[in-house]
Structure 1
Amino acid sequence: MELFSRNVAALWIILLEFLLETAADEEVLMNTKTETSDLKWTTNSHSKPEWEEISGLDEENNSVRTYQICQADGSSSHWLRSKLIERQEASQVYVELLFTMIECSSRITHHRSCKETFNLYYYQSDTDDATATHPAWMENPYTKVDTVAADFLLRKGGEKKFNVKTLRLGPLTKLGFYLAFQAQGACMALLSVRVFLKKCPALTCSLSVFPETVPRSLVQEAVGQCVANAEQPGPNPRPPKMFCGEDGQWVDQPTTTCTCLPGFEASHGELECRACPVGHFKMRSGPGPCSVCPDSSHTGETGSASCVCRPGFYRAPADSPDTPCTRPPSSPRSPVPQVNDTSLTLEWSEPLDSGGRSDLTYSVECRMCPAPGGPCAPCGDGVNYQPSQTGIQGRRVSIWGLRPHTTYSFTVMALNGVSPLSQQGPAGETINITTSPNIPVLVSGLRKITATESSLTLHWNTPTQSHYRILQYQLRYCEKERGSEENSCHYMESNINEVVLSDLRRATQYEVQVRARTLAGYGSFGQAVIFRTLPDEDDSSSPLLVTGILIAMGMLLLIIVIAAAIYCIRKQSHFKDAETSDKNGQYLMGHGVKVYIDPFTYEDPNEAVREFAKEIDVSCVKIEEVIGAGEFGEVCRGRLRIPGKKENYVAIKTLKGGYTDKQRRDFLSEASIMGQFQHPNIIHLEGIITASCPVMILTEFMENGALDSFLRLNDGQFTPIQLVGMLRGIASGMKYLSEMSYVHRDLAARNILVNSNLVCKVSDFGLSRFLQENSSDPTYTSSLGGKIPIRWTAPEAIAFRKFTSASDVWSYGIVMWEVMSFGERPYWDMSNQDVINAIEQDYRLPPPPDCPTHLHQLMLDCWQKERTARPRFSNIVSALDKLIRNPASLKITAQEGAGPSHPLLDQRSPLTPASCGTVADWLRAIKMERYEESFLQAGYTSMQLLAHITTEDLLRLGITLAGHQKKILSSIEALGIQNQTPGNVLY
């Protein structure tokens, strides 16, 4: 309670300081109270009585110079004019009058023309040129300010009271002005006249300083500057501005973006920027307090923008300055070798100390020691490592290609992101091993491919268990009839596992043997096999061919039977569990209870908004930049700061002005739909703002934006397992929606958002209410009318508007194709009607390049014509989980080629050198036009020059993305370019 009282008191003090700072200042231009000699103002002295200057007493009984007049007759005007008063550039000034006036009924000579008022005028002039006759004593050229009436009148025996009146003069345009008083039958005394202007005082607020400002108009703009140790971010900052009102009061809050510099934080209610204390830092300019230095770092002075690592600790180049400092790991523990002839498997335990980092990798250093006790040298390129020699993620490595009967020294080193920064080098553990003596490499599987009267074409198996790379093969072939005579045997070498023996005798048997040569020398010859040149009376090729055909036909029949059985089981299972659609396209679950509630079923849709969406005060939201446009207005990025919660970034959809009530209801319906979902793969609704304009919907902010554009931007940069992980997240979100009885109707990669951790979330829940509205967007318009995304929509939904969870499964299959093709447009450049016709004729999209076979088969399952035959989202999630648990299954890829493979799509001309007349045409055809300038600058000015281009050439051109390199090289190979100018090839 005591702490609360102190906080309240502090707030009152800050508020009082602000009020005192913003109170209007006054600058006095004239005050008759301060005059010590006669005023000597001018009167129109042609008539009596006139204004008379005398000494009098003010309300505090101080002696002052006053003017008084007491007229017996009000038929004449008596004027009194001040000296010239300089206006000091003010557009308006204030006049404070202190006077007394005698009540007409109390005067001895009461006349019916007696008055209890007088008039105040002013006359502007650039010079002090007024005389007794100029300007004329009349209302024009003077400007009347007001007729002044007394609030308190003096009467005989009554209380003596003074009248105080404050009047405003303006607008003033010349250098000075005169005041003029006109009495017409009044008996009064003008005790004092004070002329002053109001100005806004110097002010410090919102980290900005504004100077003292005199209002020269109704509202005067004042330009300020940031306080010390503050700045305005951005390339073209605008100075802080504030407005001074005509009454000398600052108007509203300043428009300023001043923020404290790195190393400084706002204090005293944003009146100053205070340096961060020792041990604290602030790395960026902007709001927010200083933070305590991360672990293993410190600062030795105030105002630090970063903390320095303590001795022995480091930050990697990619580490942010606000991350803790870390150190290299300790040595790997307990390396265990398993030697198998000339190969080795090394396993080890992780270090006791990882250095405080999670990017731990291992490297293996190999040194060969030919003689015991002799010097050791690096092993060289002949030794192979699996998975690699450096950057090993696991704790196991296989090594082969070692020499037999040789001693090796292996050092296993642990590294992390800061290991290169350490002066001591990586910590490692060393072991020594000796390989076994050489074991010969035997070649087997020698067989005949073709035979003629004078030649034999032979083939054999490549040894798979060899610890050495095969350098060459040697064949020995001898005529069988001539026995083992030395001159009947011949030798032949081959670099591949196939050879043609020529110049042979007709109808002769030959005994053939093969051996392999490695770094360890030649192995032993394999088993001798006898072959015969033609004519051959005992040619067994025909029976073997017939046998092979019979086996192939049997296997094909078996595959057809198994596939039919699976299809029947799947169809029966889905028929039993098929969803029942209600009139809104939503299916009923279990006992017919709908979980999702359609907001348009409410009599008042605003009630659904209040029930499912939280109202947020607009003061908690700060819009930072516009990032796009939606159907109803702009989409912005901003920050949400709710008291008691951590500030976070949000996406803000705004409703543009001039909307109708229906548009407002439709706009907010998405919030009342989204507010019913809570799932890690569904976009999260933060709240809405309806109490002020513009109306807003706030959702979590997804840093990488829409999935389709994100994939196109990172073409080829993700592994299949990463892409499957993205698909699994989308499927999980759709499984949740289907269990909630919600049908999305617009599932597409453009409506999937991706955050910085590559988590995909389903978004855009607005299409389901707008299916009958016309649209000019070719993505959604069909020839059948209505608003439908043709390329993503199931055939029954296009034809009959039958939207169910099964139609969402069809759309999910299209999303899978988009993801595996890195954002390619489904059905390419086909028209919407062509797409509808192709689907009706059972055309389905082919697998994208390098697409795993299992994934394409899952796509085809999603595109079953009968919706009851399609898998449910729960089945899809299970299937993707199996693939993730078995990554090897993703290495089985479907047939390459993402182009159409159907007669309906023959309008797409094949890619040929003739169709790509220039390098620019070719790059545009494969959607790699971004590299056109690089190719031309490197001298690739014709298609023939591309014949021998390599990966190294592409790297020199600045093409570093592996996916782009593969796409370009495979396209060149598919074109089959013949280099007709050998001398001009660029290497």
Structure 2
Amino acid sequence: MQATGGELGWLTWPLDQGDKPGWEVVQRTLNGSQLYTYSVCNVGEREQDNWLRTTFIQRQPAASRVFVELQFIVRDCTSFDGATLTCKETINLFVSEADADVGTTFRKGQFKKVATIAPDEITGKNELRINTETRVVDNLLRKGFYLAFQDNGACVALLSVRVYYKTCPATVQSLASFKETVAAGENKDLRKVIGECVDNAVSEEQPWIFCTVDGEWVVPVGQCQCKAGYEKVDNACKECPEGFFKPTASGDSCQPCPAYTQKQGTGAESCPCLEGFYRAQTDSEMDPCSGLPSAPRNLVASTTQLSAGKLLLSWSPPEDTGGRSDITYSVECQRCDGLVCQTCGEKIRYDPSSSGLTDTRVSVSELDAHLNYTFTVEAHSGVSAYAPQLPSTSALTTSLHYTEPPKITTMRLVERTPTSLSISWDVSPKARVQPRAFRYELMYRKNDANSDVTTYTVLILDKDSVQVSDLAPATAYMFRVQAVGIDGSHGSSMEEQFETSSEVIFGAALGGAAMLFIVAVVLFLRRRGSHVRQGPEDTYFSKQLKPLKTYVDPHTYEDPNTAVMKFAAEIHPSHITKQKVIGAGEFGEVYRGILKAPGRKEVAVAVKTLKPGYSEKQRQDFLSEASIMGQFSHQNIIRLEGVVTKFKHAMIITEYMENGALDRFLRDHDGEFPSFQLVGMLRGIAAGMKYLSDMSYVHRDLAARNILVNNTMECKVSDFGLSRVLEDDPEGTYTTSGGKIPIRWTAPEAIAYRKFTSASDVWSFGIVMWEVMAFGERPYWDMSNKRGFRLPAPMDCPSAVYQLMLQCWLQDRSKRPKFGDIVPLLDKLLRSPDSLKTIADFDPRISIRLPSTSGSDGSPFRSVSEWLESIKMSQYSENFNRAGVVTMDQVMQMKNEDIKNIGVRLPGHLKRIAYSILGLKDQTSTLSVFAV
């Protein structure tokens, strides 16, 4: 034909029709060019059955789905003179599979119908209009196939036939190359394609990607990374330039050699240290080399802290740390008795330690009197062990003399009353010689074995006796006394128990009884009065008001990991069993799994994973959703079980919702739920949103796709990727600086000014209400611009529910209801099911879900089968024929009961056919919407 400019050798059937042949090759002139067409034009002739079969088309083994693109011309039946009752304006496309070319053998029974082809443009007497239509031939299994075109009385000319299949083109993604791959067939699983890393790139796991039925690559997994000494440039790995290096296989770029290192040639994996500079074992190749620290400075002993064998040493850090921050210190001691010096040994005690000190002070105890001690303090860093010379040092020599601390020998009770105790004590005779060298520390507490809390009272005294007042009658108290030196030393202590007396004055007892009587009378009168007041304020004031928890934006944390640790529980990966993939998210795959934590029973969970090769920013973005979810606790908010952050593969663990996303769940069960049940689902969503708004939280992406449904049909708000906290201002708005906005669900002020509030979430909730009542229909259908419009009421939607939708879509956001108003309103509807029986008006002029309600030129369909095929309900053609419904006039007279009687039982199919009939009654159905 057009592509060859000559005869294709296609088979026509029947072979001989006398004066009215079937398909034949006709030469035509189109736009000044000569071309050949296959044509047939036996209009007015009855019982036409003309077939045109292609030659054998061999199939690529992986291509189970091919596309047939036709260019053709159809003559308008009304352009012929005379009656043309048998004239048609459609042709039929058929396919037949075979494993080998059968030559000229032709049997109609071997062919399967693919589609009825109707033109968009019909050619009249004086004009030529070319149509282009594409149809899909799916589920091909054999080595090849034939296409056939059947004419039943049309005037048709085939200009060209193009047969092709779709592929995912060869590509390089994340440094992994993937070969060209034939796309899978309709309703087939995504085709998994294994890739290979480009030269000088490696991957921890083999890279792979999915090829969709539309020839698009999605969800790459197993990112390749350039090897050490190489960096990514476009889609290849190039050597690091001179003076740059990269130590490991990663997605990082080459870095200039750090300070105090030797510059290398191209492709360097490391930069060695210059002479006199070193790296510690814990340092990475990215760290600069460092020198040794200089000596500590200003080493002194604090004699004001000197006590029985105790000394405080302190010093200043080295002037030169060698460029390091991991400076530590060690202390060595020598004791000298006359001219003989030796190591102090284990007798000396250091607090906190004699080595590994990070503070510039240490306490030394257990020293002997009348000896000289020499202390040496050494400074160390992480590279000291690699240096050839000794660490830098500083020394101090000091001589210590001290006396023994005082000792308590006896304690005795001097006097007691119901509320006080007087006690005194004695000290050792040696301490009495120097009474001004110390004071006394007295501690006392109530001796109550049943109490969970022990409270001590501490007194510092200059004398050896005391009177303690404000005590409880007939109560035992424990007293402990200890001598404390003026230098802070403590001597040995003594502890004794003493008890207050139980005598009580009669007058006081009588007064106490009178007071108890008065309190009892007051309580009695109040109780009687409480039975009189029955107003609503009683209930309000009887409740204890709790402070409202407010959401904390994890993005305000300087370290995002801190927010994750604060709001999400860490789970060990050994407690998680992944079972099967249930989806693919932005960051990786989502699994159904089992969580078995110690002390808890097994629970089903959803496991979100982070694909390998992620950057630190991607990891933080991935975990930020957990930092948000972890702050919420409500039955209509998806529950976070925990996170895995301390292991190689990061994961987010949430409760498992068996029925998945709400929009898909409703589409799969179209027409199966009554309005009462749908309103109950909306009530749960509203309750979850009220909880979020009460926490000063704006979701920004509320839609049915982001609502999950469990096995009890309970709805829970999820997906907090676009969510943000409200600013602390009267307007309560959040302003974004960029990013995508879900237009169909977003309030006008949020689209125009990027201002998001709980009021804009209310607008989105109105769209969700519409989605639920329309069983998952797409809002605004295929309208590219929905501004200024309001959605019409879904079919069979209760009027009260649609009125609430319109309130949510008020232009003035201050007049929209709040979630605190919406929840009780939905509760009221659920308590009064009769309020849901009044149905909102359905206007058939509103755009409906069907791809077409009439012929492509706007005129009604010419056959019932053609109409059913356009709404993808051709499986019911035989039902209509058996019922005698053979004309479109008869179709438009049908009611819902008639459709059920001919055998259409599925609620979704019944509604689709009924919608289309309503649309056929008004040919402006696809052009009008409610405008506000």
Q: TM-score range by the shorter chain?
A: 0.3 to 0.5
Which of structures 1 and 2 has the bigger CA Rg? 1
TM-score with structure 1 setting the length: 0.39
> Normalising by structure 2, what TM-score?
0.41
